[in-house]
Amino acid sequence: MDGYATAMLRFFEISGRSKRYEYWMFTLFYLIFGVIAAAIDVRLLHHPLSEGSGVAGGIVALVHFIPSITVAIRRLHDTDRSGWWLLLIFLPLIGLIWLIVLFCLDGTMGNNGYGPPDDREERAPAPAPARSYRSVR
């Protein structure tokens, strides 16, 4: 959940980088909230799914519209690509597939053209120091 919260807190921030974890956790929770909103629309508000999104679904989409764009741009920055690559979404089918591939790629190590790696990422623990075993007499 912290990846989703981080993406929502960085609402209007396009500069910087976002790791895969942040992007995919945001996408997962956006999907979960969308399914819950659709259920509310159908069950409580009696809105047929065949007519598209209802009030609850519209609110969820509106709240997540800008953060979904900014987290996608920061994810592309992590792979050392410009945010303009997001325009691939307008190419039917192949653009969506290519963007998913780009979002799944690992980010560049160290600094790239868009800044240092995201410090909020959990780092692997440092290796344990070598222990010296002395013979016990």
pLDDT of residue 78: 93
pLDDT of residue 114: 85
pLDDT of residue 81: 93
For residues 56 and 37, is the Cβ–Cβ distance under 8 A?
A: yes
Give the integer Cα–Cα distance in Å for 109 and 21.
15
Q: What is the pLDDT of residues 48-75, one digit of tens each?
A: 877 878 899 999 999 999 999 999 999 9
Give the integer Cα–Cα distance in Å for 34 and 131.
52
Of the ranges 36-40, 85-89, 116-120, 129-133, which one carries the lowest mean pLDDT score? 129-133
pLDDT of residue 113: 86
Angstrom distances, CA of residue 91 to CA of 12, 65, 131 = 25, 20, 57
Question: Which residue shows structure tokens 């980010």?
Answer: 107
pLDDT of residue 115: 86
Which long-range contacts does 55-58 make (Cβ < 8 Å, 24+ apart)?
Answer: none
Q: Helices 94-104 and 20-43, interaxial angle, to 10°?
A: 130
Statement: residue 12 has pLDDT above 70: yes
